[in-house]
Structure formats: structure tokens, C-alpha cells
């Protein structure tokens, strides 16, 4: 079936998340640009870039959800990949320039398993030059395209587990479960260095970014060919449901109206499950009917009660519109 024309859909107030199965050969920015046209809104972002050659889960933020990204960032990630042994490249994958090659005759599954086990747990990882991190205001990948290298500070990551699913003479397939912020290409590069043969990432597919998984994702062809409202009805996660990962504080009608007017609220009892003295966006403030009105944090008041300090107030909650 041929792709439908990119005619802009009517603007929609829909807010929430849409998981997309990104194909190889396009950027994460390309996915966002196409989704903006199909869904008829410019208010779209994403949770975590995928390289152009990578495939799999890319979670889009739509509408007011763009103001809530920190709620879902930093969760456990799962990737399926292929490591190609005996080669080192400047990009740490097979798209880069080959820097060195080495024989792999001495490699066997037991050596690979042992080396990957040593790259498990809490680690310090030096980000690759081909990343979106910035150095003095400039993206590292832009610097790398000029053939330059700059110092990068190691960052703390956690690798929960490597699962090796097949072995061939020069390559092996794996699934790795790791923390957010982990560069799998660098894990593979470091694995090759530990083995003494070198290694580069040959293929990568993101399977999960907690609490989302590839099973929830809309196929790229469906996003291209079906009307935006239909895609959202089938695959979208409305904001009310998506914010279910946070503890909730329920407001009565008067408190909801006060919230909409930007007032700080005082509560005698925020609830047993609310994080007291938590971060700025650690609780979702809901109306009596369960609708998400705002994100905020709870802080102790002088009289022993608790203050709710809203940080993000959604448009429908302004002036009490979401009180019902």
C-alpha cells in the first residue's frame, strides 16, 4: 500500500504518548516531523534518540505530555544487538571508518560470556564522539564529523544483564538490559577491547524503555498510511493513564479551582503513598474524577500540614476548567 499524502490533520487537544517502531535509515527527528504532520500538531517531542541505523522503540510525547518528559526518562532500557568482532571503527559501529582489524580465531562463546560478565553492574562509561552530548555548546557528533576528538568525562551507568542468543565465527547476537544513558555501541567497543580483538556494533534494536515496550509501538507503515486520530485511538496512551506511574494526590473541587489560579495548596494529609518532600514533579495532582491537572511536589508547612507546589499545570486545569 502506498503512503497517504502528508496532509495536516485538524489540530487536536489530545495529550499523551505514542510509541513508534522506528525503521532503519531515518533519524528520530524525521519521526517527529512526520508525526507532527500526521497528527496535526507541532507539540511533539520524544524520549531518547535512536541513531539513524538503529530500529525499534521511540516514544513520542504529544501535546501537554511534552512538559512531562522527566516523568518517564531514566528507566531501564533493553536492546537487541549484533556485535561484530575483529574490527574497530571511529564511530564504534559498522557505519564508521575502520581504524584497525584483528583475527578472531581465538574467540569462543566462553570467552565472550566471561568478558561481558565483567562489563556488568555499576560501570563508568566514556560517551562516544558520535553522540548528541554537548562540548562547549556544540554537539559531539558535529565535532566528530570534522574529524576532531575532545575529552569526555566518564558517566555512571548500570548494566543489568547481557543475554547472548547466537554465536558465529565473527559476530554474536545479544540482548542487553541497562540503565538510561548507556551507549550500547560503547559497551560493544569496550567488550572488543577486553577480548583483544576489537568489536563494533553491527545492528541495534531498542526493545523497551521502562515502562514502555516495543509491543505497544505503532508500525511505521501504519503511522504513514492511517489518519492521525485512528492511530492515536489504537496505539496512543492518554496522559491521564501515562501518568499512572506517579503517585497521585486527589483534590476536591475547590482545591482544583485554586490550583487553576496558580495557588499553592495546603493539605492536612496528602495520602500514604505520596512522596513527602519529593522532587518538583514527583506527584500528579488529580481531580475528584481522576483527571490529571498538574505535576508538583509536596513540602512541609510550618503548621505540620503539607503544601502542594505545582510545577506543571495543564491547560485544561487553568481557572478550574478541569475541576470536574
Active site residues: 51
First-to-last alpha carbon distance for the chain, in angstroms, is 44
The C-alpha atoms of residue 311 and residue 318 are separated, in whole angstroms, by 13
Under 8 Å CB-to-CB from 22, ≥6 apart: which residues?
Answer: 28, 31, 50, 54, 55, 56, 57, 58, 220
Alpha-carbon torsion (204, 207, 210, 215), positive or negative? positive
Q: Output phi, psi for 216, to 5 deg.
A: -90, -5
Please choose, from the candidates 6, 33, 12, 8, the residue with its C-alpha nearest in 3D space to the C-alpha of residue 22. Answer: 33
The C-alpha atoms of residue 7 and residue 14 are separated, in whole angstroms, by 18
Contact in structure between 81 and 204 (CB atoms under 8 Å)? yes
CA 324 to each of CA 171, 288, 321: distance values in angstroms, whole numbers, following the listed order = 58, 7, 8
Torsion of CA 184, 26, 34, 68, to 10 degrees: 10
How many Cα neighbours within 13 Å face the side chain of 319? 0
Give the ranges where 52-209 is alpha helix by DSSP (H).
Answer: 109-118, 140-145, 184-195
Amino acid at each position: 500500500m502506498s503512503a497517504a499524502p502528508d496532509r495536516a490533520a485538524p489540530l487536536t487537544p489530545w495529550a499523551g504518548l505514542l510509541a513508534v517502531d522506528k525503521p532503519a535509515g531515518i533519524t528520530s527527528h524525521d519521526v517527529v516531523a512526520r508525526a507532527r504532520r500526521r497528527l496535526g500538531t507541532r507539540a511533539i517531542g520524544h524520549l531518547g534518540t535512536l541513531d539513524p541505523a538503529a530500529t525499534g522503540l521511540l516514544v513520542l510525547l504529544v501535546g501537554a505530555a511534552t512538559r512531562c518528559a522527566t516523568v518517564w526518562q531514566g528507566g531501564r532500557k533493553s536492546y537487541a544487538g549484533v556485535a561484530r568482532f575483529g574490527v574497530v571503527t571511529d564511530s564504534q559501529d559498522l557505519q564508521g571508518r575502520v581504524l584497525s582489524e584483528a583475527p578472531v580465531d581465538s574467540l569462543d562463546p566462553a570467552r565472550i560470556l566471561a568478558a561481558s560478565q565483567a562489563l556488568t553492574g555499576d560501570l563508568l562509561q566514556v560517551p562516544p564522539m558520535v553522540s548528541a552530548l554537548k562540548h562547549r555548546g556544540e554537539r559531539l557528533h558535529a565535532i566528530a564529523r570534522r574529524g576532531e576528538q575532545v575529552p569526555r568525562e566518564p558517566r555512571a551507568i548500570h548494566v543489568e544483564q547481557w543475554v547472548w542468543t547466537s554465536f558465529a565465527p565473527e559476530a554474536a547476537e545479544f540482548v542487553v538490559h541497562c540503565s538510561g544513558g548507556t551507549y550500547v555501541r560503547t559497551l560493544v567497543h569496550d567488550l572488543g577491547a577486553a577480548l583483544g580483538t576489537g568489536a563494533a556494533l553491527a545492528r541495534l534494536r531498542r526493545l523497551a524503555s521502562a515502562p514502555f515496550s516495543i509491543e505497544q509501538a505503532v508500525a511505521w507503515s501504519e503511522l504513514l498510511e492511517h489518519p492521525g486520530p485512528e492511530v492515536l485511538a489504537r496505539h496512543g496512551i492518554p496522559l491521564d493513564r501515562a501518568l499512572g506511574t506517579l503517585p497521585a494526590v486527589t483534590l476536591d473541587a475547590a482545591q482544583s479551582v485554586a490550583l487553576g489560579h496558580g495557588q499553592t495548596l495546603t493539605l492536612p494529609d496528602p495520602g500514604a503513598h505520596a512522596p513527602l518532600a519529593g522532587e518538583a514533579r514527583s506527584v500528579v495532582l488529580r481531580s475528584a474524577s481522576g483527571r490529571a491537572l498538574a505535576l508538583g511536589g509536596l513540602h512541609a508547612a510550618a503548621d505540620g500540614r503539607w503544601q502542594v507546589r505545582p510545577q506543571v499545570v495543564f491547560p485544561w486545569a487553568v481557572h478550574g476548567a478541569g475541576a470536574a
